[in-house]
Amino acid sequence: MASGNVESLDQLPMALLATIMTKLDISSICSLAVTCRNCNSCASHILSFLPNFHILDISPSMELIKPLLPPNPYLKSLKLDCCQLNDSSVELLLRPSLQELCLRNCADFSGKLLSEIGSRCKDVRSLYLGSVAEKSGRAIHTSDLKELLSGCTQLEAISLMFDISLFLRHNVARIWALASEKLTSLEVGYVSSVTVTELLSPNVGPHQCLNQVRPSILPGIHKLSLFVDYITDTMVGTISKGLVLLTHLELRDAPLIEPRVTFDLTNSGLQQINHHGRLKHLSLVRSQEFLITYFKRVNDLGVLLMADECENIESICLGGFCRVTDTGFKTILHSCSNLYKLKVSHGSQLTDLVFHDIAATSLSLTHVSLRWCNLLTNQAIRSLVCNIGLKVLDLRSCKNLGDEALPAIGSLCELKTLLLDGSDITDVGIANLRYGVFSSLVSLSVRGCKKLTDKCLSVLFNGSSKLELQELDLSNLPNLSDNGVLALAKSQVPISELRMRHCPLIGDTSVMALASMRVDGDRGHGSSLRLLDLYNCGGITQLSFRWLKKPYFPRLRWLGVTGSVNRDIVDALARNRPFMHVACCGEELGTDPLNNLDGSYVHNYEELDELEQWLQEGEGESGEEEMEDADDDADVLFE
């Protein structure tokens, strides 16, 4: 049957085969390319008029990507991980036909990338640039941004995910005045609050008298997302008054020192939010990245004043409001009748009373996150689950939650994401998830729930191969051993991301079990995993690295290990699997959350495996010899 299918594809007219391939994404085309010669030839041809080219799960080199991007006047959308690329690839990547451009991990590019986009991609509508010029020796100049903004006259959305404050010290408003009048969405990786205030403040035009003040620039902005040094009253007021059409505001800061009153957010600043009444989504977060600090000048009064102006808001995220009590948070729940997403972090005075009478409201919450709210108990969760449509429940670092909350959570049959990190749950309690909610979960995290043992996996996964679960975090469980992982492997649940860092009893047996695991008769061993984090697992030795080589774990893209096991072996493994990111310094693993910039782009990991195969075939004989040398080096190390 299989050979007949291949023969029939071989006999199809090339024109018909090409028509079929134009309906597919790049990964699916690569899947077909390795099935027969006709498909391979047609795939090479189809790349000359493919409208979309998206590769975000691997970071190809210039040698690999060049044959996949021939001249193509029909290319509209390009999304690429540029970790291995630099300025020399500008001419290859930037096409005049592009309307959507997403380039992640551009650390080895200089500011030339911005100016070249402005001169080459004049019709681009959506632009995302990540980590530009972050490597030592790279620089961005004001003129680069000028050329970008003046050249891309059709821009509607721009995301500059790097520090733009370094080259915007003078004439910031004049530079951004060059931006497209169609711009509705602006996202910036880092900028100072003073710069933001200068940018959006009413100003004097170039040919106007001092008494002729014009409105703020960027008047068409609907969505604004900024990471700043300090969230201040002045900046918040300027944004709220200057951006008349604003519906989506996200502000996050990470102070290096405790802010003074003039560089902080107070009740007065909160009162200015939603000046024009159009705001639907609000996020104000003080990060603890550099300093443990909070919004100490905001209390319940500020939240009450804000709630009066935000009664139509649909999503709210508040992080670091340590002086806001139940009164303030409760006001939000009772005033904002359209609210479906509630996120609170470091709510040190938030207690069960906030949710005591939530059933009496008209709310239909679907996303709730209550991280580091240590006064919450099981009773709050019992009250909260009256929102039976909950899809995301994040209770990380709520240390007073225990087994009594789990029966209530188990009744949430639409729940997709459940995060219980650091809670006081046990094997007995987690059994309450076995029926009902567990069949719908896509992501489950019990990181740091130190009372859990191997039994929790036996209870959850025994006879449960038909589950939707894709992401599982079992990190920092001191009593989790290889026996628990064996139970997981036997279940054949197609998990794609498995984290088990800081588990002292996890060893080589776990790796062998996962490597040998097959899902639904799949031809590959360990085939569903694309992320495996084994950092600081006490029993991992050189033996595990034999099982981490090909052909095992064919779709693995992220691997966390302890480099001290043997750095030479780790390096040999990285050479053996050039498309896999091997981390050995303890960094958290995972693809960028902005990988899926559009909801229509769905990862198919089997297709990504074929993509890797085709890319490697494109390397030619020299590439094959290099891979063989890497294998030989690894074999010597393993002997």
pLDDT digits (tens, 9 = 90+) for 85-120: 999 999 999 999 999 999 999 999 999 999 999 999
- pLDDT at position 621: 40
In sequence order, the 6+-apart residues with CB closer than 8 A to the CB of 184 are 156, 157, 220, 221, 222, 223, 245
Q: Let me know if residue 558 belongs to a domain.
A: yes
577: domain CATH number is: 3.80.10.10
What is the count of structural domains for the chain?
2
Q: Let me know if residue 632 belongs to a domain.
A: no
- Per the CB < 8 A criterion, the answer to whether 578 and 600 are in contact is no
Inter-axis angle of helices 112-120 and 142-151, to 10 degrees?
A: 20
Q: Let me know if residue 353 belongs to a domain.
A: no
Q: Which residues pair with 453 in a beta bridge?
A: 479
In the structure, how many helices (H) and strands (E) does the chain have?
24, 22
Q: Let me know if residue 256 belongs to a domain.
A: no
Q: Let me know if residue 481 belongs to a domain.
A: yes
Q: Give pLDDT < 70 ranges for the chain.
A: 1-10, 27, 31, 166-170, 203-216, 463-465, 519-527, 563-565, 591-639
Q: Let me know if residue 75 belongs to a domain.
A: no
- Per the CB < 8 A criterion, the answer to whether 373 and 401 are in contact is no
- pLDDT at position 69: 93
- Per the CB < 8 A criterion, the answer to whether 367 and 344 are in contact is no
pTM of this structure:
0.87
- pLDDT at position 167: 64
Q: Let me know if residue 137 belongs to a domain.
A: no
- Per the CB < 8 A criterion, the answer to whether 619 and 64 are in contact is yes
Q: Which domain holds residue 550?
A: 472-592
Q: Let me know if residue 513 belongs to a domain.
A: yes
Residue ranges of the alpha helices (H) in 94-190?
112-120, 142-151, 172-176
pLDDT digits (tens, 9 = 90+) for 531-546: 999 999 999 988 998 8
What is the spatial distance between Cα 183 and Cα 514, in angstroms, rounded to a whole number?
A: 48
- pLDDT at position 308: 93
DSSP 216: P
DSSP 531: E
Classified as helix, coil or strand, 543 is helix
| H/E element, 460 | helix 454-461
Structure token pair of residue 398: 């709520």
